Structure 1
Amino acid sequence: MLSRPKWTIAVALVLLVTACGQPAKPSSSGVGDTEVATGGRLFATADAETAKLGSDAAPGVFPRTVKHSLGETKLEKKPSRVVVLDSGELDAVLSLGLTPVGMATTAGQSGVPSYLADRVKTVQTVGEINNLNLEAITKLNPDLILGSKLRANDLYPQLSAIAPTVFSIRPGFPWKENTLLVADALGLETQADTVLNDYQKRVNEVKQGIKGTPKISLLRFLSGNIRLYGNLSFIGVILKDVGLARPANQDINELAAQISKERIDQADADWIFYSSYGAGPSPDEKAVTSSGLWTALGAVKAGHAIPVNDEVWFLGLGPVGAMKVLDDLKKHLA
């Protein structure tokens, strides 16, 4: 596989040659989509800024320097004792065939996304995502710490003093780029390409089986907060990859838009997929889904309002979770 800068140049040359007589293809997301169909890659990336991060080293070769959101980190050897600070890094590391020695817990139902629970029974916890235990991390003697600037920016100096630390810019919609960054830090670039190519192949299968052109609404209940999720979200990227349309109020280059219980009509579409953050249906979900406003929605009347696993659809943030979302989409829409 070509290193990232050389690969970028190669793609540019291919596009220059093949674009003669053809109009330029605009970015449909507004965030710098890059179609990757060379070098064995079949998938598209969603965030040009995040895609700039990574290493120039040949696959699997150490030492290497990894460019990330807070600078550059040198790794003298292939890491084996990895601590992950969010569910996205956890999913990505597991998808590449490595089990971390430590992980931060989430506010989900069991502290770790349930779909990953069986794979992390022996992994030590190092506090919560927003309340990390630096002493616990130190005791694990890690040789790599993976997290994000959005989650743990202020702790980067302390973390990098414990072990080499690589931070993405943010979790969520750049989940494919984040997986590639994790792979660069681990020297598992080839494995990452395989994982993401498998995802894209599954996307293509699901896309072919979808009936019609349904519009999909993403509704999530948080504590005192009801959100409609937009394009700059983990699930928003997956829906776009599958080619599923969104209502105008969700076809936005934002993470989400907030609505009130009284305006739940704004969540209507051909299909509504909804969940609550945390353990069990939230009070807001219970109140909304038992109301007359809810039963009047077209999707509800059609039996197309589907509760989904929040820990997969909104907390997964990595390839394993993405594949499970595709399974759900095929189940309901094919």
Structure 2
Amino acid sequence: MSLRRRGTAAAALALALAATLSLTACGSSDGGEGTAAEASAGAGDKKAVAQGGEDFSDAAKKTAAMGTDAKAGEWPRTVTHAMGKTEIKAQPKRVVVLDVGELDNVVSLGIKPVGLAPTEGSPELPSYLKKDAGSPKNVGTINNLNLEAIAALQPDLILGSQLRAADKYDELSQIAPTIFSLRPGFTWKENYLLNAAALDKTAQAKEKLAAYEDKAEALGKKLGTDKPTVSMVRYLPDGVIRLYANASFIGTILKDTGIPRPKNQDIEDLAAEISAENIDQADADYIFTGVYGDPKATDKSTAQNNPLWKNLGAVKAGHAYDVPDETWYLGLGVTSADEVLADLEKHLTN
């Protein structure tokens, strides 16, 4: 979707945001886009993964309203974000990021963060960002932040999200100006512009988003009018298998290209959950599979040894592919989105 210019939200916005996410301000246990409550729920056939009553379009609109009225190069600047308003006195030089989405965002804008909170199930520094990210220090994980390690880095800006770390916001704000988006995931474009506003990199961010959208549109045209359906399968620990839907990072990319989804994934939710015994519900013309953490801790082997999996049309046709979890499901930024588009083009046009 195209992105509108960011304005300064009314003062009441901060209160509305807090109320909206009061039920979902917990850390994600899967390192992706869902909450801990979602990831711990038992897998059931065609069960949608709930978001605590969150209105997806509303979250995107609220994030889009955040930002700053400051002109390029103007300091200090006040940024409206998910937790209220924060003044940043000067151009940040020592940035700590509390999730991989924020990492992708700042690195794409030419900034090497001094601190990073990685996910529990992925490398400390994603391989696709290693060349440009420098050597950020570990400050805990997205679900277990080390506040002492963050303070020791003497940051002048901290970037994260309300969904991940609302309960740590006051302490983080005492360390450095802290800017929170509402949540990671399907609001990745809006989050990118919010982060850019705090860094005085808005023009650069808009340019990169426009380039991404041009690539997505070009791929859609290349695939023609009779596009194949795509199923997104992700294996997580404790037997959780998710079919990612429209209100997810990968869901927005597929929508931007016009690639259709199976009916059970063409829903306004993060994902539907299935079991290994019902893996045939992942059926589509093409299947792309991600794994969070150690594959042995998931039901991937059980599901793919199931005769139902082996009889799927995509599997028989050689159209079932493993894809990097770190870009397709964990990246949550413009650089990873570009990587996903490249993978889609490779697999869908050869």
Partner letter of residue 218 of structure 1? Answer: M
Q: Distance in 1 between matches of 2:340 and 2:199?
A: 26
1:270 is matched with 285
Q: What code does the residue aligned with 2:233 have?
A: L
Overall identity of the aligned pairs, in % = 54
Q: Which of 138, 162, 170 is the matching residue for 2:183?
A: 170
User: What is the match of residue 250 of structure 2?
Assistant: 235
**Deviation sequence 1:172-230 (CA, Å, 0-9, x none):** 00000000000000011111011111111211221122253211110000012000101
Residue in structure 1 matching 2:90, options 73, 77, 84? 77
Aligned CA distance change for structure 1 residues 48 and 152 (closer, same or farther; 3 Å): same
Contact 2:107 2:133 in 1 (8 A): no
Correspondence 1:24-43 to 2 at 5 A: 31-32=56-57
Is the 2:7–2:67 contact (alpha carbons within 8 Å) kept by the matching residues of 1? no
Tell whether 2:157 aligns with 1:159: no
Say if 1:283 and 1:76 are closer, same or farther in 2 by CA, change over 3 A. Answer: closer
Query: What is the CA distance between 1:287 and its match in structure 2?
Result: 1.4
Aligned-partner residue type, residue 157 of structure 2: L
Structure-1 residue corresponding to 2:235: 221
TM-score normalised by L of structure 2:
0.82
Q: Which moved more, 1:277-286 or 1:319-328?
A: 277-286
Match of 1:299 in 2: 314
Partner residue in 2 for 1:39? none
Amino acid at match of 2:6: R
* C-alpha contact 1:62 1:76 (8 A) present in aligned 2: yes
2:236–2:298: 8 Å Cα contact kept in structure 1? no
Equivalent of 1:246, from 261, 264, 280? 261
- The equivalent residue for 1:329 is 344
- Give the distance between the partners of 2:134 and 2:190, measured in 1 at CA: 27
CA contact (8 A) 1:227 1:258 kept: yes
User: Would you say the 8 A contact 1:109–1:279 is kept in 2?
Assistant: no
Structure-1 residue corresponding to 2:29: none
Please, which of 117, 130, 145 is the counterpart of residue 158 of structure 2? 145
Report the AA paired with residue 204 of structure 2. Answer: Q
Q: 1:166 deviation in Å? A: 0.2
Residue 106 of structure 2 corresponds to residue 106 of structure 1: no
Can you give the 5+ residue segments of structure 2 that lack an aligned partner in the other structure?
Answer: 9-54
Q: Distance in 2 between matches of 1:3 and 1:219?
A: 34
Instruction: Output the CA distance in 1 between the equivalents of 2:73 and 2:295.
Output: 42
Q: Deviations over 1:285-313 (max 9, x none)?
A: 11111221110111111111111001110
Letter in 1 for 2:153: L
Q: Which residue is 1:49 aligned to?
A: 62
Q: Is the 8 A contact 1:64 1:75 kept in 2?
A: yes
Q: List per-residue Cα deviations over 1:224-263 (Å, max 9, x = no partner).
A: 2000101111000000000011111111111111111111
Question: Would you say 1:59 and 2:59 are equivalent positions?
Answer: no
- Residue 121 of structure 1, CA deviation: 4.5
Secondary structure of residue in 1 paired with 2:273:
strand
SS of the aligned residue for 1:59 comes to coil
Q: How many aligned residue pairs are there?
A: 298
**1:195 touches 1:319 (CA, 8 Å); kept in 2?**
yes
Q: Deviations over 1:135-160 (max 9, x none)?
A: 11001110000000000010000000
Is the CA contact 1:87–1:316 (under 8 Å) kept in the aligned structure 2? yes
Residue in structure 2 matched with residue 22 of structure 1 by the alignment: none
TM-score, normalization by structure 1:
0.85
1:313 corresponds in structure 2 to 328
CA contact (8 A) 1:312 1:324 kept: yes
- Matches of residues 189-200 of structure 1 in structure 2 within 5 Å? 189-200=202-213
Superposed displacement of residue 3, structure 1: 6.3
Q: Tell me how far 1:332 sits from its aligned partner.
A: 0.9
